[in-house]
């Protein structure tokens, strides 16, 4: 019987020599392909032994590790839905995700077991396991008693494989539902488009709780049967040390600017590499040029979303065109990208409008939010990205901005509405606005502007300290100003563009 389970396709791509090294960690451990096969079978059998319902979610908030990656693959193998959660999320955020997704299984760190299991059990989750980043925890203990043989669950292309939460521009996060077909079709297109060849070696330095590290980097290597040099945490010097033994690296712009700050990054160090890919946030033309001048490599920039995985990419092969800094390249083969004005009408070539996308890479909708999902698609079924851009006469797509109120900081999305909501709840606060300003390291960071209630005394630093106890660290405003009033337009709406202008030099 045809099995469209993504895991089956990845497993089929394992090299014949299963004893070859698949993953090498920076603390000297080597995992063979056979290890990957056996460990994912044991973990899949553990999940299979729990009597979970069809479509059950497995929510995972653990530090990056090879075992965390194996748990992802095992969840696919067992036919359940993987739900990765950023390790920076704190109690209020986790409580929301668990209440919204109702996972049958939650895997957390040994340190967080206390508060996470309380939230999970209260929400009806019956299985909570722990997994440390040092191969400790109850998950591996339990799996060690399971068989290392397992037939991947039969899944169809439209069956759910993962849910990725991508916060709503207003209010709470939305769970983007991605199918086995979404993920596999995109992985196959990228394998060819980015010229993966036998012998490629990937340096994996991204988190594995978002699309870039979990799908684009991981599937790229696995679908090519390629070895990975694995870093649980990004460190510029460790990446540079590994360049002579690798061929492919993927990162967000911050990773590139941090490596450029290292003298060890030389043309010589990068000479064995074949491809550097950047995405998740705008790559500054300065960074693009500096990288080319320093290493001789032209970074390939691509554009993706949790809802669509990758939708455009600069070309890899010269015959497909040049890689143009400041653009995100062409729509990927099989993916439709178009620009529409506010009335939904086509705009002339080169004109700016809302970017829309259609194709097998586009998600199935937001988890239990049919109305919200409907709003984000056009009548003829194209997904509205919320990004603003243009397509020029040569077909290159350029993102010029966002219609959604979004800050992308070091590659992570920060939604002002969520942070403003927390600030507005604080005693003495009448109103707040969070805006993004340029930052040399993270590209863009949030700055909060707060209005006190009449007679209230507010201290910006104290507000930030309180926020740190409530929200993921990357969401915390880097500065908080207390002012008497906010600029408003005639409709009374806060003019965030004026605030961005006022504070744009803060971190120059």
Q: List interacting residues with ligand AMP (CB under 6 A).
A: 166, 211, 279-282, 301, 303-306, 328, 385, 387, 399, 402, 408, 413
Count of CB atoms situated within 10 Å of the CB of 315: 18
175 near ligand MCA, rule: CB under 6 A: no
| H or E stretch at 255 | helix 253-260
Residues 263-282, one symbol each (x = binds ligand MCA by CB under 6 A, - = not), give ----------------xx--
Compute and round to an integer the Cα radius of gyration of the chain.
Answer: 23
Q: In what order do the strands lie in the sheet with 300-305?
A: 30-32, 21-25, 227-230, 201-204, 248-251, 275-278, 300-305, 309-313, 330-331
Residue 300 contacts residue 277 (beta carbons within 8 Å): yes
Residue of the chain from 155, 174, 212, 390 that contacts ligand MCA (CB under 6 A): 212
d(C-alpha 394, C-alpha 406), whole Å: 29
d(C-alpha 306, C-alpha 119), whole Å: 26
Q: Give the count of alpha carbons within 13 A of 107, CB side only.
A: 30
Q: In what order do the strands lie in the sheet with 127-130?
A: 127-130, 105-108, 57-61, 81-84, 160-166, 174-179
d(C-alpha 272, C-alpha 497), whole Å: 44
Tell me whether residue 30 or residue 465 sits nearer to ligand MCA (CB atom).
465
Tell me whether residue 143 or residue 310 sits nearer to ligand AMP (CB atom).
310
Residues 474-493, one symbol each (x = binds ligand MCA by CB under 6 A, - = not), give x-------------------
d(C-alpha 211, C-alpha 309), whole Å: 7
CB of 35 to ligand AMP, least distance (A): 31
Residues 416-455, one symbol each (x = binds ligand MCA by CB under 6 A, - = not), give --------------------------x--x----------
CB of 352 to ligand MCA, least distance (A): 20
CB of 441 to ligand MCA, least distance (A): 8
Going by C-alpha positions, the residue among 163, 203, 194 that lies closest to residue 179 is 163
Tell me whether residue 227 or residue 306 sits nearer to ligand AMP (CB atom).
306
Tell me whether residue 72 or residue 165 sits nearer to ligand AMP (CB atom).
165
Beta bridge pairs of residue 59: 83, 106
Q: Which does 409 bind (CB under 5 to 8 A by kind): ligand MCA, ligand AMP, none?
A: ligand MCA
CB of 334 to ligand AMP, least distance (A): 19
Q: Which does 174 bind (CB under 5 to 8 A by kind): ligand MCA, ligand AMP, none?
A: none
409 near ligand MCA, rule: CB under 6 A: yes
194 near ligand MCA, rule: CB under 6 A: no
CB of 243 to ligand AMP, least distance (A): 22
* Nearest residue to ligand AMP on Cβ basis: 306
């Amino acid at each position: 019987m045809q099995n469209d389970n993504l895991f089956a396709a990845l497993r089929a791509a394992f090299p014949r020599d299963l004893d070859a090294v698949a993953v090498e960690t920076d603390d000297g451990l080597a995992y063979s392909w056979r290890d990957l096969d056996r460990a994912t079978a044991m973990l899949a059998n553990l999940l299979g032994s729990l009597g979970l319902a069809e479509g059950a979610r497995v929510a995972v908030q653990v530090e990056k590790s090879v075992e965390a990656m194996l748990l992802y693959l095992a969840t696919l193998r067992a036919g359940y839905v993987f739900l990765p959660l950023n390790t920076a999320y704190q109690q209020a955020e986790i409580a929301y995700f668990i209440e919204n997704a109702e996972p049958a299984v939650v895997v957390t760190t040994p340190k967080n077991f206390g508060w996470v299991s309380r939230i999970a059990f209260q929400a009806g989750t019956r299985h909570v396991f722990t997994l440390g980043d040092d191969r400790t925890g109850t998950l591996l203990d339990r799996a060690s008693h399971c068989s290392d043989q397992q037939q991947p669950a039969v899944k169809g292309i439209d069956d759910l494989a993962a849910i990725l939460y991508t916060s709503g521009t207003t209010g709470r996060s939305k769970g983007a539902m991605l199918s086995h077909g979404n993920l596999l079709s995109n992985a196959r297109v990228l394998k060819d488009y980015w010229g993966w060849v036998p012998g490629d070696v990937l340096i994996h330095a991204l988190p594995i709780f978002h699309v870039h590290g979990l799908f684009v980097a991981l599937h790229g290597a696995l679908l090519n049967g390629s070895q990975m040099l694995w870093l649980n945490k990004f460190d510029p010097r460790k990446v540079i040390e590994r360049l002579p033994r690798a061929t492919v690296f993927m990162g967000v712009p911050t990773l590139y600017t941090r490596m450029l700050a290292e003298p060890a990054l030389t043309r010589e160090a990068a000479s064995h590499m074949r491809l550097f890919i950047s995405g998740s946030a705008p790559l500054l033309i300065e960074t693009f040029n500096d990288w080319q001048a320093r290493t001789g490599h032209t970074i390939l920039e691509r554009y993706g979303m949790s809802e669509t995985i990758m939708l455009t990419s600069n070309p890899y092969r010269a015959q497909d065109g040049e890689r143009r800094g400041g653009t995100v390249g062409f729509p990927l083969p099989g993916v439709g990208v178009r620009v529409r004005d506010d009335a939904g009408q086509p705009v002339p070539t080169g004109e700016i409008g809302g970017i829309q996308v259609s194709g097998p890479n586009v998600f199935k909708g937001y988890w239990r939010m049919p109305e919200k999902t409907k709003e984000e698609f056009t009548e003829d079924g194209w997904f509205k990205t919320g990004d603003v851009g243009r397509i020029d006469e040569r077909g290159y797509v350029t993102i010029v901005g966002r219609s959604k109120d979004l800050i992308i900081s070091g590659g992570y999305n920060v939604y002002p509405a969520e942070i403003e909501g927390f600030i507005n709840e604080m005693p003495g606060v009448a109103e707040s606005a969070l805006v993004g300003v340029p930052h040399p390291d993270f590209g863009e960071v949030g700055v909060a502007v707060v209005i006190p209630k009449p007679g209230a005394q507010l201290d910006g630093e104290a507000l930030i300290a309180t926020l740190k106890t409530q929200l993921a660290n990357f969401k915390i405003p880097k500065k908080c100003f207390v002012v008497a009033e906010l600029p408003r337009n005639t409709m009374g709406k806060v003019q965030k563009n004026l605030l961005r202008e006022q504070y744009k030099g803060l971190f120059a």
